[in-house]
Amino acid sequence: MNGHESEPADLLVIGAGMAGMSAAARAASQGARVVVLERGDHVGGSAIYAGFVWTAPTVEVMREVNPLGDADLSRLVVEGFPGGVEWIRSLGVDCRPQVTVLRYGRGHQVDTTHYLSRCEQLVKERGGEVLTRTSARSLVYDGAVRGADCKLPDGSTRRVLARWTLLATGGFQGDPALRAELIHPHAGALPLRANPYSVGDGLRLGRAVGAAVGEPGAGCYGHLVPAGVPLSDPSMFVDLALYYSEHALLFNLRGERFVDETAGDHLTTIALLDQPQARGLLVADAAVHREWITGSYVEGIPGLDKFALASRRGARCAVTDSLADFDDMPAEWGYPGPAIRAALEEFNATVAAAGQPHPGRAYDRRALTEPPYYVLEAAPAITFTFTGLLVDSSMRVRSGTGTPIPGLLAAGADTGGLYHRAYAGGLAPALVFGLTAADTALT
């Protein structure tokens, strides 16, 4: 290869998000020589847009909310989480008091930017390197992975040799073709509520050396957002997320409800991918507007009128005084207004009679009877992917035969198997898997 070859490292980390920087800092703190490659301009990945580190409080709850996920990885996340929080605190980063997240989760608000900068600082203080605007072109492989050939910002190349190489590039949500292949045909057109650099590098590098990849269709994590509203400004990722959908009703283009919205906005997001054109009409009443659209989604976070924000951003939305007004829904929207009005009336009547609507509502089964009604077209947006490289509980990447590929680790969204159309936190698995990978590399 052209370019120069560096002194061998103990750990080469490809990707500088939550998983990669956690691994790099943990390894560096124990005396390992670490080199980090990051495609973007700075460390952080999509973690800089998040503020809560959380997961299920027990293995039993994790199994309940994520029944199809890998049992060993699920247990590792839950049991490793307290130690992960202590690791964050050991770097002088504040973890706020524990709060409940999504009814079943427990976690802490964390200044992720501070945490990631402390990780970077630690790596550099211990003699390691953090190379930004640098991408891994291929792994150095001779039956074992011994590092990677990378492209530097000036176009030159460099071979970084290492005892262990960690793939932590954040998933493939930035690649429409991979999304369509591994998530759903509609997923290729999803708006991205994440950094633009997670384009499947880890998946491709792993595949090239025979790594096993999880089954397509595991889904992704994301949220409903106002359809047609650009997500070009990362500061709006949270503000435009329609968390209140858990207390509203969502209708597809046939005027049908198709999911239990109360199970979670992130699950409704996956379900909407299966519907015609992957778009739907979100309907709330004045009570939902008062308590949830303008209220706080997580304790300690100020509320925001998300409907008003969506309207200002040009979303297709309306406020109507009665259910009868649904009959006059504009034809260009493409929804059968009378059918939606009838479905709302049937829902309200069923709930008033203490019945269970179809689809069922496990949590919030209140009728939508308080006008005005807030109507907003919603679409799914993606944050990170669930299909990825298969690993064991030490984060060693498995080959197609199930045996570990010598020298190769994966963590964060580059791993597959943890979640299958379910979710119990993103930063927590990235943190725990990253720290676990570092511990493996240190043995």
Instruction: Render pLDDT for 260-270 as a digit per residue (tens, 0 to 9).
Output: 999 999 999 99
Q: Answer with the one of 364, 382, 400 that is the final residue of a domain.
A: 382
Q: CA 240, 244, 249 angle in degrees (round to 5)?
A: 120
Q: Are residues 188 and 260 in the same domain?
A: no
Q: Are residues 293 and 410 in the same domain?
A: no
Q: Answer with the one of 355, 382, 409 that is the final residue of a domain.
A: 382
pLDDT at 3: 53
Q: Answer with the one of 331, 361, 382 that is the final residue of a domain.
A: 382
Q: For the chain, what is the domain count?
A: 2
Q: Are residues 333 and 375 in the same domain?
A: yes
Q: Are residues 272 and 332 in the same domain?
A: yes
Which tens digits make up the pLDDT trace of 191-223?
999 999 999 999 999 999 999 999 999 999 999
Q: Are residues 323 and 344 in the same domain?
A: yes
Indicate the helix (H) or strand (E) that contains 269.
helix 265-273
| Range scoring the smallest mean pLDDT among 2-6, 49-53, 170-174, 175-179 | 2-6
Contact 441, 32 (CB under 8 A): yes
Q: Are residues 242 and 170 in the same domain?
A: no
* pLDDT reading at 299 higher than 80: no
Q: Are residues 187 and 113 in the same domain?
A: yes
**How far apart, in Å, are the Cα atoms of 436 and each of 10, 26, 205, 387, 388?**
15, 9, 21, 20, 17
Q: Are residues 396 and 252 in the same domain?
A: no
Which tens digits make up the pLDDT trace of 306-320?
999 999 999 999 999
Q: Are residues 259 and 162 in the same domain?
A: no
Q: Are residues 225 and 367 in the same domain?
A: yes
Residue 2's pLDDT band (cuts 50, 70, 90): very low
Q: Bridge-partner residues for 249, per DSSP? A: 283
Q: Are residues 236 and 270 in the same domain?
A: yes
Q: Are residues 132 and 201 in the same domain?
A: yes
Which tens digits make up the pLDDT trace of 73-123?
999 999 999 999 999 999 999 999 999 998 899 999 999 999 999 999 999
pLDDT at 6: 59
Domain interval for residue 244: 221-382
Contact 123, 36 (CB under 8 A): yes
**Which token pair is 266?**
């992130």
CATH number at residue 225: 3.90.700.10
| Range scoring the smallest mean pLDDT among 149-163, 275-289, 291-305 | 291-305
CA dihedral 199, 205, 211, 215 (to 10 degrees): 10
3-state secondary structure of 152: coil
pTM of the predicted protein model: 0.95
pLDDT at 79: 98
The average confidence (pLDDT) of the chain is 95
* pLDDT reading at 4 higher than 70: no
